[in-house]
């Protein structure tokens, strides 16, 4: 990607400038990072470096904050974003094993994206459909009572769709 | 300040109300064990090693982070505290490699000492261990996160003292790691190679890149003519490695030790320092007369120079173009000296003995290489590495007879010796510039106004009919302060000395780990080291760089005029803005 593609949008720059006029400008770092992630789907290194320069907050601090909070993604979402519910009910019903199966099958960890950018993996807390536990969300689609065994099938189905 | 009465282990203590429990205990001679605490850095309270029991408080308190209160009853060594403290150390060790025998800091490690003093005699907890690769991309500083215990001293020194903010804690919990932003390699970061992270680290999570093997190999190679030259600050600190009291000058023994190690010739970086002053004073007088590019910023400290390139590239035109004393001398060795001795510069192996870790980076700068890419300085040994080599060889340093440097590149004025301490370059430059500007010898050579800067010092010096505004800064947070003042333009500064390390080179990142009773960044030990240098200066016959007879000879025989074409070609260099840009 060329450098231009990484420039922050004008309105985000505007927001940063407003923050800098506040009493404790550094305290707006998280708010700024949220804006960036909402816009681009994740926190790109170049974007974080630009935030650091514009806010005059050390780049290592920005990097520290971005890696500390689980909500911040450091890789772009995949075309198919898989979210595994790790709420109490799902967990009791074996969501941890389902998660392990996804990890093994995709070769990525939570918060990561496959090299072909097809799949990304995340966890969520209770989605409010505990009767269907364990629940997996792939983009908008809900899969219920998922077992670890079903995971390869599930992924194959998505990949087949992809070929059509 | 109000005093309060408290009891520590049943001993009554009257202590200022703003003191911490740890400080109060020190007042009665009790040193509470500690790890993350450092007297020159902010309070972290992360390691919990310094916990104490306080009557009426239902949890143990970190004595570094809690102030005293009236009537407080403290127990520093109850059975419960001793047990809890040992548990804490055992838990830290559980996630530590325990490779003491093969570790660089074996015998010189705060964690090792702590484990011993707390009575840890077996491995109690066996848990998951963090795994990180050694990051050795930098020319100067190696990062080994596996040995890190997350005390954050490096993070604090990098931001609070140096203003670099290169290091931060990334990720969380078990995965926490101290690294530059985005876990970038050190070589791609804003690290300026000062090595203060190495100095404050209680373990071996940061170390200098070793050059010892390369030097042993060169010494064993019959085709190589191996020469050493020793920086001013070495003579004030090397003895500490052999249990000599801090501040014991040991230049003669150092020369002998280097000869015993097998160096074919031993020169003095001081000669390069004298040369630096002649060139820099010339540059300064020129700028002063023309009113151009003022203030002149000194250029001896490679940490400061890289800092300027990352953080203040707009100041590059103000920096002196003089190479550092090390690079001036190394250049002369591979040009002038090689020609004179009829040697191929490629057969000469030049080793700088430096108090500095950033010099390793400086040695690799392409601007400081022969046109075919051969570096002028082949290897840089820190004071620590030099001490280790002398010990490894089995040389009984303390009983060595004094030796003399080889000449002509081994004779120096007293002005060169004081280069090793804050204010020294300034004083040396003022001695020469003043005599040059007025055309008369100075009656008093001591510019005490610029000595012993605790971070930052300004003065106005009357030279002839000129008021010269000078400033001295050590520690890069202080450099920021003075450079921002320059940029604000409130006052016309004429010359500014900048040193990356607190106290100047004597407090450099390659200096010995402090002996018992002292700590890293200790102003007291730096005072003693500085006194050693001032005493050497006082004793010298020649105390101004331009009156060094061998310097005069060198200009006559080889360099021409100070600042002339030849001198410029051999002794000056250039700087370039660097990415990533630092945050001021």
Domain shared by B416 and B326, yes or no: yes
Find, in chain B, the residue whose alpha carbon is nearest to that of A57: B583
Q: Rounded mean pLDDT of A78-93?
A: 94
User: What distance in Å separates residue A162's CA from the closest CA in chain B?
Assistant: 33
CATH number at residue B190: 3.30.70.20
Shared domain for B182 and B296, answered yes or no, is no
Contact B580 A61 (CB under 8 A): no
At B567, list the tokens: 């001198």
B359 belongs to the catalytic site: yes
What ranges make up the beta strands (E) of chain A? 80-85, 119-124, 136-138, 141-143
Which whole number is the average pLDDT over B321-330? 98
B264 CB contacts (<8 Å, ≥6 apart)? B225, B226, B227
- Per-residue pLDDT tens digits for B146-172: 999 999 999 999 999 999 999 999 999
Model pLDDT for residues B476-533, shown as the tens digit of each residue:
999 999 999 999 998 999 999 999 999 999 999 999 999 989 999 999 999 999 999 9
**Predicted pLDDT of residue B584:** 84
DSSP 8-state secondary structure symbol assigned to residue B99: -
- Do residues B536 and B403 both lie within one domain? yes
Same domain, B217 and B205: no
Predicted local distance difference test score (pLDDT) of residue A164: 66
**ipTM metric:** 0.92
Q: Tell me which of A10-24, B117-131, B384-398 is least confident.
A: B117-131
Q: Which CATH architecture best describes the domain A80-163?
A: 3-Layer(aba) Sandwich (3.40)
- Of B161, B189, B209, the residue at which a domain comes to its end is B209
Catalytic residue among B53, B362, B435, B497: B362
B487 catalytic per annotation: no
- State how far Cα B96 lies from the chain centre: 28
Q: How far is CA B409 from the centre of its chain?
A: 24
CB contact under 8 A, B168 and A64: yes
Sheet holding B265-268, edge to edge: B265-268, B225-230, B348-354, B379-382
CATH code of residue B281: 3.40.50.1780
Distances from the Cα of B111 to the Cαs of A146, B89, B94, B442, in angstroms? 48, 8, 12, 52
- Residue B513: predicted pLDDT: 95
C-beta atoms of A61 and B168 within 8 A = yes
Q: What is the pLDDT of residues B112-128, one digit of tens each?
A: 999 999 999 998 888 89
Give SS3 for A10.
helix
Partners of B208 in the β-ladder = B141
Q: Which of B209, B232, B259 is at the close of a domain?
A: B209
**Structural domain boundaries enclosing B560:** 213-571
The tally of domains found in chain B comes to 3
Minimal CA separation from B122 to chain A, in Å = 34
Q: Which residues of A touch B581 (CB under 8 A)?
A: 53
Provide the β-strand partners of residue B156: none
pLDDT surpasses 90 at A71: no
- Distance from chain centroid for Cα A12: 20
Do B298 and B160 sit in the same domain of this protein?
no
**Percent of chain A whose pLDDT exceeds 70:** 96
Q: Is A57 on the interface with B (CB under 8 A)?
A: yes
* Predicted pLDDT at B1: 76
Cα–Cα distance, B310 to B192 (Å, whole number) = 9
Give the integer Cα–Cα distance in Å for B261 and B416. 25
pLDDT exceeds cutoff 60 at A2 = no
- For B40-51, write each residue's pLDDT tens digit: 999 999 999 999
Tokens of A100: 């392990």
Query: Do B502 and B526 contact (CB within 8 A), yes or no?
Result: yes
pLDDT in tens, B43-74: 999 999 999 999 999 999 999 999 999 999 99
- CB within 8 Å: B170 and A59: no
If asked whether residues B201 and B232 sit together in one domain, one would say no
Q: Nearest by CB to A56, from B172, B180, B583: name it.
A: B583
* Percentage, residues of chain A above pLDDT 90: 84
Q: Specify if B128 maps to a domain.
A: no
Beta carbons of A68 and B180 less than 8 Å apart: no
Distance separating alpha carbons of residues B474 and B62, to the nearest angstrom? 32
Whether residue B300 lies in the annotated active site: yes
Q: Which two tokens stand for residue B231?
A: 């920086």
Predicted local distance difference test score (pLDDT) of residue A125:
86
Report pLDDT for A3: 44
Statement to judge: residues B204 and B217 lie in one domain: no
Q: What is the DSSP letter of B4?
A: E
Q: Which of B44, B110, B146, B283 is catalytic?
A: B283
Which of B143, B170, B181, B190 to mutate to test binding with chain A, by most A CBs within 10 Å of its CB?
Answer: B181
> What's the gap in Å between the CA of A44 and the closest CA on chain B?
10
Task: Kindly state whether residues B368 and B461 are assigned to the same domain.
Answer: yes
Per-residue pLDDT band for B277 (boundaries 50, 70, 90) equals very high
Check if B314 is active-site.
Answer: no
B106 within a domain of the structure (yes/no): no
Does a structural domain hold residue B557? yes
Same domain, residue pair B191 and B217: no
Distance set, CA B273 to CA B301, B327, B418 (Å) = 12, 10, 10
pLDDT value at residue A55? 97
Tally A–B CB contacts below 8 A.
47
Q: How confident is the model at residue A1 (pLDDT cuts 50, 70, 90)?
A: very low
**Per-residue pLDDT band at A114 (split at 50, 70, 90):** very high
Range B37-52 burial, b when 16+ CB lie within 10 A, else e? bbebbeebebbbbbbb
Q: Is pLDDT of A131 > 70?
A: yes
Residue-range domain boundaries for chain A: 3-68, 80-163
Domain assignment of residue B107, yes or no: no
pLDDT band at B368 (very low <50, low <70, confident <90, very high): very high
What distance in Å separates the CA atoms of residue B423 and residue B452, rounded to the nearest whole number?
7
Q: Which of B320, B321, B327, B412 is catalytic?
A: B320
Residue-wise DSSP of B50-74: TEEEETT-SS-EETTT-B--TT-EE
Per-residue pLDDT tens over the stretch B83-99: 999 999 999 999 999 89
Per-residue pLDDT band for A5 (boundaries 50, 70, 90) equals low
* B488/B368 same-domain check: yes
Give me the pLDDT at residue B127, please. 87
Give the residue among A55, A39, A50 at the shortest CA–CA distance from A3: A50
Q: A3-68: which CATH architecture?
A: Orthogonal Bundle (1.10)
In a domain, B104, yes or no: no
The reply to whether B116 falls in a domain is no
Regarding whether B479 and B354 lie in a shared domain, the answer is yes
d(CA B35, CA B396): 33
Q: How many residues does chain B have?
A: 584
What average pLDDT does chain B have? 96
Name the domain boundary from B163, B191, B209: B209
Question: % helix / strand / coil in chain B, to the nearest 5?
Answer: 45, 15, 40
Distance from CA of A38 to the nearest CA of B (A): 20
Kindly state whether residues B47 and B177 are assigned to the same domain. no
Domain at B34, CATH number: 3.10.20.740
Cβ pair A59:B169 closer than 8 A: no
Say what the pLDDT of residue B123 is.
Answer: 85
Helix (H) / strand (E) element for B15: namely strand B11-16
CA distance B72 to chain A (A): 37
Residues of A with Cβ-Cβ distance to B584 under 8 angstroms? 56
Q: At residue A42, does pLDDT exceed 70?
A: yes
């Amino acid at each position: 990607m060329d450098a231009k593609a990484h420039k922050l949008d004008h309105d985000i720059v505007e927001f940063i400038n407003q923050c800098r006029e506040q009493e404790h400008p550094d305290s707006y770092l998280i708010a700024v990072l949220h804006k960036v992630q909402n816009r681009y789907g994740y926190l790109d290194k170049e974007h974080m470096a630009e935030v650091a320069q514009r806010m005059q907050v050390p780049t290592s601090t920005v990097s520290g904050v971005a890696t500390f909070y689980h909500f911040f993604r450091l890789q772009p979402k995949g075309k198919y974003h898989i979210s595994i519910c790790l709420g109490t009910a799902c967990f009791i019903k074996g969501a941890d094993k389902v998660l392990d199966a996804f990890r093994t099958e995709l070769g990525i960890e939570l918060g990561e994206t496959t090299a072909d950018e097809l799949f990304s993996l995340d966890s969520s807390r209770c989605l409010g459909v505990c009767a269907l536990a364990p629940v997996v969300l792939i983009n908008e689609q809900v899969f219920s009572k998922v077992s670890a065994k079903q995971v390869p099938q599930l992924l194959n189905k998505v990949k087949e769709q992809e070929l059509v | 300040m109000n005093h309060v009465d408290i009891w520590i282990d049943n001993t009554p203590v009257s202590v200022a109300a703003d003191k911490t429990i740890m400080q109060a205990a020190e007042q009665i001679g009790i040193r509470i064990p500690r790890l993350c605490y450092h007297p020159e850095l902010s309070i972290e309270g992360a390691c919990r090693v310094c916990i104490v029991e306080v009557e009426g408080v239902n949890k143990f308190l970190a004595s570094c982070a809690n102030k005293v209160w009236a009537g407080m009853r403290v127990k520093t060594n109850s059975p419960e505290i001793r047990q809890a403290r040992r548990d804490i150390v055992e838990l830290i060790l559980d996630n530590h490699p325990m490779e003491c025998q093969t570790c660089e800091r074996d015998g010189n490690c705060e964690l090792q000492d702590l484990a011993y003093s707390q009575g840890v005699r077996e491995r109690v907890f066996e848990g998951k261990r963090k795994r990180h690769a050694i990051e050795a991309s930098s020319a100067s500083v190696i990062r080994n996160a596996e040995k890190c215990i997350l005390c954050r001293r490096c993070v604090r020194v990098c931001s609070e003292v140096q203003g670099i903010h290169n290091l931060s804690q990334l990720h969380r919990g078990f995965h926490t790691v101290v690294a530059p932003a985005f876990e970038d390699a050190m070589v791609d970061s804003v690290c300026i190679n000062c090595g203060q992270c190495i100095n404050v680290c209680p373990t071996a999570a940061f170390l200098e890149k070793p050059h010892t093997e390369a030097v042993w190999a060169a010494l064993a190679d019959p085709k190589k003519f191996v020469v050493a030259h020793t920086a001013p600050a070495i003579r004030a600190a090397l003895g500490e490695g052999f249990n000599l009291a801090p501040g014991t000058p040991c230049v003669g023994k150092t020369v002998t030790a280097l000869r015993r190690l097998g160096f074919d010739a031993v020169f003095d970086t001081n000669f390069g320092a004298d040369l630096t002053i002649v060139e820099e004073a010339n540059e300064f007088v020129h700028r002063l007369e023309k009113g151009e590019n003022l203030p002149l910023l000194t250029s001896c400290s490679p940490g400061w120079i890289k800092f300027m390139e990352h953080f203040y590239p707009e100041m590059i035109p103000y920096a002196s173009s003089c190479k550092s004393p090390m690079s001036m001398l190394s250049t002369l060795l591979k040009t002038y000296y090689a020609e004179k001795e009829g040697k191929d510069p490629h057969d000469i192996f030049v080793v700088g003995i430096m108090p500095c870790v950033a010099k390793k980076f400086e040695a690799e700068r392409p601007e400081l290489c022969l046109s075919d890419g051969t570096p002028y300085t082949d290897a840089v040994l820190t004071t620590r590495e030099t001490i280790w080599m002398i010990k490894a060889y089995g040389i009984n340093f303390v009983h060595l007879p004094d030796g003399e440097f080889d000449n002509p590149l081994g004779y120096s004025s007293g002005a060169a010796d004081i280069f090793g301490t804050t204010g020294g370059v300034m004083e040396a430059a003022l001695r020469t510039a003043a005599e040059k500007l007025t055309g008369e010898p100075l009656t008093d050579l001591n510019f005490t106004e610029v000595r012993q800067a605790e971070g930052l010092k300004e003065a106005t010096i009357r030279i002839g009919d000129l008021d010269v505004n000078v400033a001295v800064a050590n520690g890069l947070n202080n450099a920021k302060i003075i450079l921002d003042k320059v940029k604000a333009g409130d006052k016309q500064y004429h010359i500014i000395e900048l040193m990356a390390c607190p106290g100047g080179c004597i407090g450099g990142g390659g200096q010995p780990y402090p002996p018992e009773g002292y700590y890293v960044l200790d102003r007291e030990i730096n005072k003693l080291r500085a006194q050693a240098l001032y005493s050497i200066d006082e004793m010298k016959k020649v105390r101004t760089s331009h009156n060094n007879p061998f310097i005069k000879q060198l200009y006559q025989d080889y360099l021409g005029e100070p600042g002339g074409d030849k001198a410029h070609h051999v002794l000056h260099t250039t700087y370039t803005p660097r990415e990533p840009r630092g945050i001021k």
